[in-house]
Amino acid sequence: MNVSTAWGAAFTEYSGINVRTGASDLTDTDFDNFPPFVRNSFDVANEIQYVPIGDLYYAYLANNDTINLNMPIERSIAYTACKNMSIPINRIWGYSRTPDSSSSQYPELTDPTAILLQSDTTPIPIMLMDTRGIAQARAHGMSASQHYFYNPFYRTSQGIYNKQQLFTQYAANANLSGTEGTPYDNTGRAASNKNLFAAYYRDFGVRSMFLTIYVTYYTSIGSTTETPSGVNNKSLYDYSQQTAEWKEQHPICCAYALVNRRTGITGTYAASDVNITSDLTVNLKSNWSFSSVSIGDMIGQPIANVDTEYLTPALPIFGTMAPHHWITSTVGTSASGGVGQYVGILIGGGTDSPIVHRQGKDGTQYKGTIWCELEGTDENIELIRHWCAAYGLFFTDGASGDAGYSQLYAAGNDETRWTDEKMCLGVIDDEGFTDGTYTRGTGNEDANNFDWKTVSESKYDPIKPPPSPENQYSTETTFNSIGDVATMTKRYVLTGATVKLLAQQLWTITENMINVGGNIDFSELSNKLLDQFLTSNPIDCIVSLQRYPMEIPAVGDTTIVLGKYDTSLHAKPMEKTAYFYLFSGNTINPKFGDSFLDYQPFTKMELYVPFCGTIQINPADILGRKLNVQLVVDFTTGTATGFVMSDNLVIETVNGNVAIDIPVTGIQQTTVASNLYNAIAQRSNTYKQEDITGWNRVSLGGALEIFWGDAMGASETFGVKGKKTLQREIAATNREKADYDLTHQSAPVHIIGSASPAGGWAIDLNCRLLIYYPTGDVIRDANPPAWNNLQLARYGHTTGFACCVEKSIGEMGYGLVVGTAPRLDLMTTNTLHNPATIEELDMIRAAIEEGIILPVVTE
């Protein structure tokens, strides 16, 4: 099985970016745009599903090969923990233990640099697990014992970051079996043989990971919880895996142990069905298998119940976060690798965690743990703290001492450690949610969860719907591309010349269907009209004809088809339903120093938008901002919508019409045929009537031929019948009228649409902001206006400029100052420190409100 190929394909699915198959490097832009796990769901061979939690994704596996689906964990506090977070990756490389852990050929793989936070004073006991590699690998058929793991972070010793090529390299697979260019072929190789297929990312989206805490639990509880035995440390990632061991790492289990640590609950407990205290009841079964868990008020709450497939992995459990024992067990002792000083984000690691499957040039498989390294900047450290805090647990900045990480799970319940300045506690709000904030030191005592003794003290209720998100503020309006609208009509872009040709055809189009030399077969004509035009009138095929003041985007060449009738007139098929046109302006600057005169009602602004008219604009909405207008022209309706934007935020909309409707005229063919048919029939009747009355008929063929020829075949000559009667004269008159009617049939005209005014085209085709400025003595009459500085200075000298400043009068510097509500006290004194009388205080207050003139200080 070509696992790597599957991975590559899967990654394409995951990331939404193209995995390149060529040899070219990805650019920085590619990585800036790299959005791991942008898809809301993922389904590979129906084996796995990802449950979106905001931007966070979980993948779950059950029984190694079966994917456990439908995990409604949206209320996980991890939602707030990981939302929109990302980890800036500074340096990452892998670690290989076997078979050649010391080979100089793979130096960057042999260093067990299980370091995320390169600071020995800030161990953050938390792991960030990459769900991607694990889930993908298993989704593609890996068994639990084959923890194939995709590591996106590779760096070559030459600093060659061919990034995305790693995927294609996996996909090629041949390289994995030993040909040139294996991902680990770096140092000591010829240039042509170096690792050109490393992948490196500068930023790793947290949404492709989930944060899991590492907790301590006890496999055996002794007579007192102060002296437990069988200490184990597991990450809740394992728990989420729902493997055979997952129940052991149930957070309640962890919480139970941790509660004991925190609260000092004591008691004797058996290995099953134990009531620890009246507040804490754990139904223990063999092997710590919690098929149901009841702790205090948590009874009945469907937490982490495998039967209900209901999972709340980030239930705000109370207690402490555990240290990093996994480091020593996985990587080695601190002495050997120095890693004991480091705790942080682990990608992979742990005996149950995914390990990297590597295959060297000789085909040997390498297994190891991949670590990533996060630069130990204050900013990053603080970021990690926020992540930790999102679990609502205690965590510590201390490596040792009273608040050392060992104190998180150490025996005893003294208050000192929990209020140590290095001890932090994630804040849980009244609803039981966290947002990454934390308290520290004595501030921990103010936290809701400081003294929690039972899980039920959390107000978190997984049954409740999640709280409404806070308002999402944005300063930018997003425009959507308007896709093609599939219409039941056809639209052609024509030139003016083609329009004229089409108009001509509309008057003659039916003539081509009639055998001019023969008789009119109305039935045949009708059939042809219906067949070709789907209607009796060709002109009825036309819905509208519009004229637009621009070249309508159109591509290709085709002929105009009315109904099914091809006019052979060439036109372009329309390309898009709507188009955006941008009217771009610069920043609108105030003219009066951003004073009140720049705003309403003193200054008024109107914006003219072509085809849409003029709208009032509040100067306060656009001053100091860039004014743009996006005009969306809808070619289906001919309408235009102008979106007035202030710094990319739409503040007004205006509507209008771009297109001019052109009426279309042509013969109403049905009426023509109908009238002719009636006229001919009437004429035939009059002839017959005349025959009956004995009128000596003369040849009328010539008259018939005036119009449609001898259509009725009535030109035969009859013999003279004899006597004239009054009836004959009447018959003759009728016949003459029928002849006249037949030869004077009018052609009825049909009109489609009506003309619309073109006046909107006659003026400005650009947007125009009209500004109406006030005038006055202090304003210089210019266009645009400006201050008359001389008059302005005089005004300031005599009256002062209106303002609203909270200062002392002296701080205003010089000149006239008028204050209000002065703060005076009874010890307002003069230079000899004589206090002012109450009368004088009143006078001082009045003086300040009337105005004080400060001296001009000359230097």
Partner 1 sequence: MTINLYRTNADPREINKISNAVLINPDPIVIKPTELVNLARPTFEIDYNSAYMTANYCYCDEFDRYYYVLPPHLNTGKRLEIPCVIDVRQSFSSAIAATECTIIRAESIAQPTKIQDTKLPINPASKIVTSIVLPETSHTFDTDANYSYLLTVVGGSPGVGGDTE
Q: Which of residues 720-749 bind partner 1 (CB under 8 A)?
A: none
**Residue 139 or 779 with smaller CB distance to partner 1:** 779
Site for partner 1 in 776-835 (CB under 8 A): 776-779, 781-785, 787, 792, 795-797, 799-810, 812-824, 828-832, 834
Among residues 710 and 840, whose Cβ is nearest to partner 1? 840
CB 250 within 8 A of CB 284: no
Is there binding between residue 513 and partner 1 (CB under 8 A)? no
Position among 455, 502, 617, 679 found at the interface with partner 1 (CB under 8 A) = 502
Distant-in-sequence contacts of 58-62, Cβ < 8 A, 24+ apart: 58/131, 58/210, 58/240, 58/313, 59/131, 59/134, 59/135, 59/139, 60/240, 60/241, 60/242, 60/311, 61/134, 61/135, 61/138, 61/144, 61/241, 61/242, 61/243, 62/242, 62/243, 62/306
Shortest Cβ distance from residue 757 to partner 1 (Å)?
13
Q: Tokens in use for 684?
A: 């035939």
With CB under 8 A as the contact rule, which of the stretches 17-25, 66-74, 111-119, 851-859 interacts with partner 1? 851-859
Q: Does 581 bind partner 1 (CB under 8 A)?
A: yes
Shortest distance, position 473 Cβ to partner 1, whole Å: 24
* C-beta closer to partner 1: residue 1 or 821: 821
Q: Which is nearer to partner 1, 675 or 788 (CB)?
A: 788
Residue 571 CA to residue 555 CA, distance in Å, equals 10
The nearer residue to partner 1, 98 or 600, going by C-beta atoms, is 600
Query: What is the smallest separation between the CB atom of 603 and partner 1, expressed in angstroms?
Result: 9
The residue from 47, 575, 621, 634 that contacts partner 1 (CB under 8 A) is 575
Residue position matching structure tokens 């995709």? 150
5: three-class secondary structure by DSSP: helix
Question: 39 or 604, CB closer to partner 1?
Answer: 604
Choice between 593 and 722, CB closer to partner 1? 593
Cis amide leading into 99 (omega within 30): yes
For position 632 contacting partner 1 by CB under 8 A, the verdict is: no
Least separation in angstroms between residue 308's CB and partner 1 is: 48
Pairing of strands 852-854, 786-787: unpaired
CA separation for the pair 234, 348 (Å, rounded): 13
Pairing of strands 274-275, 209-220: unpaired
Task: Check binding of 9 to partner 1 (CB under 8 A).
Answer: no
Instruction: State whether residue 248 is helix, strand or coil.
Output: helix
With respect to partner 1, which residue has the nearer C-beta, 38 or 771?
771
Instruction: Judge whether 135 and 390 are in contact, CB under 8 Å.
Output: no
- Closest approach of Cβ 592 to partner 1, in Å? 7
Q: How far is the CB of 312 from partner 1 (least distance, A)?
A: 47
Closer CB to partner 1, 473 or 772, in the complex: 772
Question: Which of 372, 659, 667, 704 is the binder for partner 1 (CB under 8 A)?
Answer: 659
- Window of 141-149, 206-214, 522-530, 553-561 that interacts with partner 1 by CB under 8 A: 553-561
- The smaller minimum CB distance to partner 1, of residues 42 and 565, is found at 565
- Cβ distance to partner 1 smaller for residue 261 or 491: 491
Which range binds partner 1 by CB under 8 A, 402-410, 571-579, 668-676, 743-751? Answer: 571-579
Taking CB under 8 A as the binding criterion, the range among 116-124, 237-245, 488-496, 728-736 that sits at the site for partner 1 is: 488-496
Q: How near is the Cβ of 475 to partner 1 at its closest, in Å?
A: 20
Using CB under 8 A, pick the residue from 552, 612, 700, 711 that binds partner 1.
552
Q: Of these, 12, 98, 487, 515, which contacts partner 1 (CB under 8 A)?
A: 487
3-state secondary structure 594-616: CCHHHCCCCCEEEEEECCCEEEE
The interface with partner 1 within residues 582-621 (CB under 8 A) comprises 582-586, 588, 592-597, 599, 601-602, 604, 610
Closest to 653 in 3D by CA, of 603, 619, 605, 609: 609
Query: In what order do the strands lie in the sheet containing 423-428?
Result: 394-396, 423-428, 434-440
761 binds partner 1 (CB under 8 A): yes
Residue 351 near residue 329, CB atoms below 8 Å: yes
Q: Does 767 bind partner 1 (CB under 8 A)?
A: yes
Residue 554 DSSP code = B
Choice from 549, 619, 624, 748 touching partner 1 (CB under 8 A):
549
- Binding mask 440-479 toward partner 1 (x if CB under 8 A, else -) reads ----------------------------------------
Q: Which residues pair with 88 in a beta bridge?
A: 203
User: With contact defined as beta carbons under 8 Å apart, do 560 and 569 qualify?
Assistant: yes
The Cα–Cα gap between 763 and 771 comes to: 18
Distance in Å, CB of 774 to partner 1, minimum: 5
- Give the dihedral sign, CA 217/223/226/229: negative
Piece in contact with partner 1 (CB under 8 A), picked from 348-356, 483-491, 713-721, 732-740: 483-491
- The answer to the question of residue 751 lying near partner 1 (CB under 8 A) is no
Rounded to the nearest 5 degrees, what angle is found at the Cα of 206, between the Cα atoms of 248 and 169? Answer: 100
Q: How far is the CB of 671 from partner 1 (least distance, A)?
A: 19
Query: Taking each helix axis from N to C terminus, what angle separates 3-15 and 131-139, rounded to the nearest 10 degrees?
Result: 130
Are 531 and 541 a contacting pair, CB within 8 Å?
no
Report the C-alpha gap between 238 and 248 in whole angstroms: 9
Residue type, 604: K
- Beta carbons of 765 and 549 less than 8 angstroms apart: yes
Q: Which of 298, 534, 649, 651 binds partner 1 (CB under 8 A)?
A: 534
Among 230, 467, 556, 702, binds partner 1 (CB under 8 A): 556
Residue of 490, 528, 625, 721 interacting with partner 1 (CB under 8 A): 490
Q: Is 130 helix (H, G, I), strand (E, B) or coil?
A: strand
| Rounded distance between C-alpha atoms, residue 349 and residue 368, angstroms | 8
Taking CB under 8 A as the criterion, the residue among 559, 655, 685, 725 binding partner 1 is 559
DSSP string across 71-82: ---TT-THHHHH
Nearer to partner 1, 31 or 599 (CB): 599
Q: Show the site string, 85-124: x = touches partner 1 by CB under 8 A, - = not.
A: ----------------------------------------
Among 38, 499, 651, 712, binds partner 1 (CB under 8 A): 499
Asked if 527 is part of the footprint of partner 1 (rule: CB under 8 A), the reply reads no
DSSP 763: S
Q: Kindly give the interhelix angle for 3-15 and 165-172, rounded to the nearest 10 degrees.
A: 150
Nearest approach in angstroms of CB 829 to partner 1 is 6
Is residue 854 involved in binding partner 1 (CB under 8 A)?
Answer: yes
Other C-beta atoms closer than 10 Å to the C-beta of 767 total 20
Going by C-alpha positions, the residue among 742, 557, 751 that lies closest to residue 664 is 751
* CB closer to partner 1, 522 vs 548: 548
3-state secondary structure string, 373-434?
A: EECCCHHHHHHHHHHHHCCCCEEECECCHHHEHHHHCCCCCCHHHHCCCCEEEEEECCCCCE
Among 558, 639, 674, 715, binds partner 1 (CB under 8 A): 558
Query: What are the residues facing 218 on neighbouring strands?
Result: 231
> How many C-beta neighbours within 10 Å does residue 97 have?
17
Q: Which position among 542, 632, 703, 742 is part of the footprint of partner 1 (CB under 8 A)?
A: 542
